[in-house]
Amino acid sequence: MGNAHWSARPRWDERNGYPHNESALVEIFQGAFAPAAGAQPDLVFLPMVCGWGASWQHSAADPAPRLGYLALAQSPWRSQRGPWDEERRLVGKNWPERMVVMSTEVPAHQAEWDGSAPYAKLHANPDTKKDWPTHSAAHGMTIPYHSDPPPLIVAEKRAALASFVGSCSKEPGDRLRCQLVDECLAVSAKGECVFISDDEEVGQQVYSGSTFALMPWTDTMNRKDLFGALMQGSIPVIFDNTTFVDYWPFAPLQQFAVQVPPSAWTASGGVLQYLRNLPANEVSRLLASVQRVRHRFYLPRAASLHKGGDAVDVIVRTIAEHFRGVLGIHAWHGGLPELP
């Protein structure tokens, strides 16, 4: 695997709003996947600072890829707020013909619930076309957020039923989060649910003491905290079905996450009662599944933390199989989706 003319390496800091450390990915690609000097790579990664155009000159020392190219979009694709300024100059230009763009959500969706309807309204962002210019044909891949390394051992017996790190407002999409805040606070005194405002600086260790981690949507469907909870061995609790589909290359979330149906949101006892009612053997099965697959969702923040079988391995192998047209057991998905 190669990297197109990677020279400028801007310092990455999560506080700048970028969810991914592109320089760390480059270092992992170079250290773990690069072919011998001068050999033709299967894939070439296009860093943001280098551009995504196909105008560079390949040479004997820098041959074109055998399969195709991949790049990283730091914004959820077609998110409401639009691309970052650095991305705006890339998304409207011509790209290589065989291209996969990775992002935290492809495409971005929003959800709303009025507090009583038996369903949530889920929709892509239709008004973002003006902010996301016309692009070359390409495919997209939803990838995890970074997280801290998973501990070798996590406890199965935990003091709290659930944890929720979040907040609520009067925005239309926040009704479910407000309900979860209320439910959690109502039983927090006896330690059944741990609530922490997302205004506080907390690490993923907050999930180490709870069996379940509540993961309602925010301004997009996929949450960064989902991966920290997985690393700590907590079972994700999801309230939509788009997230399940997005992460199929890493593992089917249906096997180790709980999807709470809308009928339970308004039932007596709400979401927490739904979790209390799950059979003990089902909870044990889910906890064991989380332990088994969490490493596949681990996206390291630094190259030194990369280990075989983590999310970087899954990403590279999936994209290579996509270009080869041999996605195996995942072939029923029809490969990676085209970017909208």
Q: CATH number of the domain at 231, please.
A: 3.40.50.2000
Clarify whether residues 80 and 202 are in a common domain.
Answer: no
Clarify whether residues 117 and 183 are in a common domain.
Answer: no
Clarify whether residues 138 and 168 are in a common domain.
Answer: no
Clarify whether residues 137 and 187 are in a common domain.
Answer: no
Q: Does 152 reside within a domain?
A: no
Band the pLDDT of 254: cuts 50, 70, 90: confident
Clarify whether residues 81 and 44 are in a common domain.
Answer: yes
**Is 144 within 8 Å of 311 (Cβ atoms)?**
yes
Clarify whether residues 234 and 103 are in a common domain.
Answer: no
Band the pLDDT of 8: cuts 50, 70, 90: very low
Question: Virtual CA dihedral for 319, 301, 233, 219, nearest 10 degrees?
Answer: -80
Q: How many domains does the chain have?
A: 2
**Is 130 within 8 Å of 102 (Cβ atoms)?**
no
Residues 133-184: pLDDT tens digits?
667 778 899 999 999 999 988 888 899 999 999 888 877 667 889 999 999 9
Clarify whether residues 222 and 281 are in a common domain.
Answer: yes
Query: What single letter denotes the amino acid at residue 173?
Result: G
Q: Which domain holds residue 170?
A: 160-297
Q: Does 318 reside within a domain?
A: no
Clarify whether residues 57 and 129 are in a common domain.
Answer: yes
* Mean pLDDT in residue range 24-33: 94
Clarify whether residues 54 and 177 are in a common domain.
Answer: no
Clarify whether residues 186 and 287 are in a common domain.
Answer: yes
164 vs 198: CA distance, rounded Å: 9
227 vs 213: CA distance, rounded Å: 10
Q: Does 315 reside within a domain?
A: no
Average pLDDT, the chain: 85
Q: Does 326 reside within a domain?
A: no
Whether pLDDT at 339 is above 90: no
**Is 202 within 8 Å of 196 (Cβ atoms)?**
yes
Residues 78-129: pLDDT tens digits?
887 777 777 777 777 778 888 999 999 888 888 888 777 777 887 776 666 6
